[in-house]
Amino acid sequence: MELKSLNKISDYVWEIPREGEMRVPGRIFASAELVGDFDDNVVKQIKNVAALPGIQQASMAMPDAHWGYGFPIGGVAAFDPEEDGVISMGGIGFDISCGVRTMRTGMRREEIAPYLGKLVDRLFAIVPAGMGSEGKIRLNPRQIDEVLTGGAQWAVSQGYGYKEDLRYIEEGGVMGGADPAQVSDTAKKRQFREVGTLGSGNHYLEIQYVAEVYDEKIAEELGLFRDDVVISVHCGSRALGHQIGTDYLKTLAEASRRYNIPVHERELVCAPLNSPEGRRYFSAVCAGINCALANRQVIAHLVREAFSDVIPRARISMLYDVSHNTCKVEEHPVGNKVKRLFIHRKGSTRAFGPGRKEIPEEYRAIGQPVLIGGTMGTCSYILVGTESGMKQAFGSACHGAGRAMSRTQAKKRWRGDVLLKELADKGIIIRAHSYSGAAEEAPGAYKDVTAVVDATHNAGLAKKVVMVKPMACIKG
Amino acid sequence: MEEAFENGAKAMFSVIADINAVKPSDREEVRCEAEDPEILFVEWLNSLLSAAHLSGELFCNFKVEITDHKLKGWAWGERLDQERHHVMTEVKAATYSMLKVGREGDIYIAQCIVDV
């Protein structure tokens, strides 16, 4: 897109001036190069979001922003219920609470290397992944309601992991405000066999090692040193989340009409936060978040099982768990008032700066860990939230590399089997349930995660701590 | 319009797998309604995704009847087989993005973007 249409605030912050029905300006956090590569539709979507009632400060886009459904993916917006603020489908998406969990293994790269092949095979065998895969857990209607109110806490109560794990999950592993009664029976039935499954698409489980350390002091606080091996899991609320999204599309389309909300793109359908429809959708979203938290907790348990089978001396401990498709109630200063706002983060990670009470005590002085997944075979990053990110973007950062090419384009360009061979030649073991799915996730189909993370760091949204590189990856 | 809806369903399942390899041995019935034909189209596609997921099947043939904003539809298919059906991508949902249902000349067009 043309940079000329934007006001440059700094090298990494750009403003879309208010015009037409925009209630607030748009704000893009990215380098000139990344902004130049943005699709024009991203700007259009930022403007459409800026026109929604009750929006605060600015309609924002993170450095990995790309054309999404209503909101850009990488979009952040805060709404005040006291100013007719809304909750919007487009700001949360279908994969509610999709996120990343990273765990330490207590082992170093050279210690794991001899067992790597066996370990990957074991993980591939016991972590269900791919389309149509089923978990080992079978739930009945009563139990699914417990998952939707209990989140990761439910999983721990069933013996999946330790109580200690919960401290390192956003919301302590359980999202308040969830109401299973607002989730349809179809959504619940679709999850009966899916708890503890990875899914497909861009979801993965990766064994990684710390390749670069940018801030040794903070890395030490996080218990990370060069060549340490960690495990990262990227997945979400599976079919239950998709069904909540689907069910509420129609409800919110009707609500947008009933309450006369100007919706400039249909996928932005929304309801006032202080309306029965808005409250119902929010309670369902919170239930979806709990489903995702339970899901990642069960997968973490399966990871522990695989390690104990292959390398019994490994000690898997939680680093942190973040969600990047959410709407959450948070307190933030706006002007000279502290407001209770509903923050939509669609493809954006919460990145709270030091001191926030939501961060576990051990990390409170350094800021919340921000886990940014790269693409298959490239690298991922761990950052921490900053005070400046709190002021600029309600404590939000990027979520990944962001697609640069559609899945169809990627499939035309790469062949899954050839790609996996190339990665194997680089020493990265990949196990995929679908070659075609692997081709869609080719590293070349994404923006350069390093450029995205550098822009996040330079814009002051979050601070780089370490970079990790993959040793092995399991794709859905 | 019914034919456009049937072909829309074929298009969506072709994103998921090679539907030519799917045998139409089982039948599922779905029902949905919406006053706006565009919203009805998305409801139809999403009802099919739920039905396919709950039955563990992939669909290849479709039949639609619409009366008074109410849709009654049937889908034929069989149990999903990763290998034989060349499964490509899971579709999360049909969305309102680029949604359009209407008549152009003497043909009906039904379109929307599916989230994968």
Q: What's the CATH number where A269 sits?
A: 3.90.1860.10
Residue A83 resides in a domain: yes
Interface test with B, best of A44, A134, A194, A249 (most B CBs within 10 A): A249
Nearest-Cα distance to chain B for A32, in Å, is 28
| CA-based nearest residue in chain B for residue A202 | B116
The enclosing domain of B22 has a CATH number of: 3.55.10.10
- Give the 3-state secondary structure of residue A265: coil
Nearest-Cα distance to chain A for B86, in Å, is 8
- What is the pLDDT, as a whole number, of residue A177? 96
A314-339: b (≥16 Cβ within 10 Å) or e: bebebbbbbbbbbbbebebeeeeeeb
What is the domain count for chain A?
A: 1
Residue A16 resides in a domain: yes
Q: Is A246 on the interface with B (CB under 8 A)?
A: yes
Q: Is A265 on the interface with B (CB under 8 A)?
A: yes
- Domain assignment of residue B77, given as a range: 2-115
- Domain assignment of residue A142, given as a range: 3-404+446-475
User: Cβ(A55)–Cβ(A49) under 8 Å?
Assistant: yes
* Listed residue (A464, A466, A24, A12) closest to A224, CA to CA: A466
Q: Count how many Cα atoms sit within 13 Å of the Cα of residue A67 in the half-sphere of its side chain.
A: 15
Q: With CB atoms and an 8 Å threshold, state whether A201 touches B90.
A: yes
Question: How many other C-beta atoms lie within 10 A of the C-beta of residue A230?
Answer: 26
Set of chain A residues whose Cβ sits within 8 Å of the Cβ of B92 = 94-95, 201, 242, 245
B52-82: b (≥16 Cβ within 10 Å) or e: bbebebbbbbbbbebeeeebebebbbbebee
Interface test with A, best of B39, B49, B53 (most A CBs within 10 A): B53
Residue A389 resides in a domain: yes
- What is the pLDDT, as a whole number, of residue A35? 95
Residue A158 resides in a domain: yes
- What is the pLDDT, as a whole number, of residue A133? 83
Find where tokens 């930022």 sit: A46
Q: Is A266 on the interface with B (CB under 8 A)?
A: yes
What is the domain count for chain B?
A: 1
- What is the pLDDT, as a whole number, of residue A277? 98
Q: Which residue among A70, A200, A265 places its CB closest to the CB of B90? A: A200
Residue A412 resides in a domain: no
- What is the pLDDT, as a whole number, of residue A2? 82
Instruction: Compute the distance between CA of residue B110 and CA of residue B83 in angstroms, rounded to an integer.
Output: 31
Residues of B with CB under 8 A from a CB of A: 16, 34, 36, 39, 42-43, 46, 49-50, 53-54, 56, 80, 82, 86-90, 92-97, 99, 113, 115-116
Q: Count how many Cα atoms sit within 13 Å of the Cα of residue A32 in the half-sphere of its side chain.
A: 8
Q: With CB atoms and an 8 Å threshold, state whether A200 touches B92.
A: no
Known catalytic residues of A?
Answer: 399
Alpha carbon A307 to chain centroid, angstroms: 25
Find where tokens 């590189």 sit: A469
Q: Is A130 on the interface with B (CB under 8 A)?
A: yes
Helix (H) or strand (E) holding A472: strand A462-475
Q: With CB atoms and an 8 Å threshold, state whether B54 touches A189.
A: yes
Q: Which residue among B80, B92, B96 places its CB closest to the CB of A132? A: B80
Separation of first and last alpha carbons in chain B: 25
Q: With CB atoms and an 8 Å threshold, state whether B97 touches A434.
A: no
A400's CB contacts (< 8 A; 6+ apart) are A64, A202, A324, A347, A372, A373, A374, A375, A446, A449, A452
Residue A264 resides in a domain: yes
- What is the pLDDT, as a whole number, of residue A377? 75
Q: Which A residues, 267 through 286, put their C-beta within 8 Å of a C-beta on chain B?
A: 267, 269
Nearest-Cα distance to chain A for B54, in Å, is 6
- Alpha helices (runs of H) in A403-448, residue ranges in sequence order: 407-413, 416-425, 435-440
- What is the pLDDT, as a whole number, of residue B105? 93
Parts of chain A with a pLDDT under 50: none
Set of chain B residues whose Cβ sits within 8 Å of the Cβ of A433 = 82
Residue A433 resides in a domain: no
Set of chain A residues whose Cβ sits within 8 Å of the Cβ of B113 = 69
DSSP state of A92: T
Find where tokens 């059906």 sit: B85
Q: Which residue among A69, A190, A250 places its CB closest to the CB of B115? A: A69
Instruction: Compute the distance between CA of residue A151 and CA of residue A145 in angstroms, rounded to an integer.
Output: 10
Per-residue pLDDT tens, chain B, 116 aa: give them: 999 999 999 999 999 999 999 999 999 999 999 999 999 999 999 999 999 999 999 999 999 999 999 999 999 999 999 889 988 888 999 999 999 999 999 999 999 999 98
Instruction: Tally A–B CB contacts below 8 A.
Output: 85
Q: With CB atoms and an 8 Å threshold, state whether B89 touches A130.
A: no
Burial classification of residue A423, based on how many CB atoms lie within 10 Å of its CB (0-12 exposed, 13-18 middle, 19 or more buried): buried
Residue A388 resides in a domain: yes
Nearest-Cα distance to chain A for B3, in Å, is 23
Q: For the whole prediction, is pTM greater than 0.80?
A: yes
User: Cβ(A237)–Cβ(A96) under 8 Å?
Assistant: yes
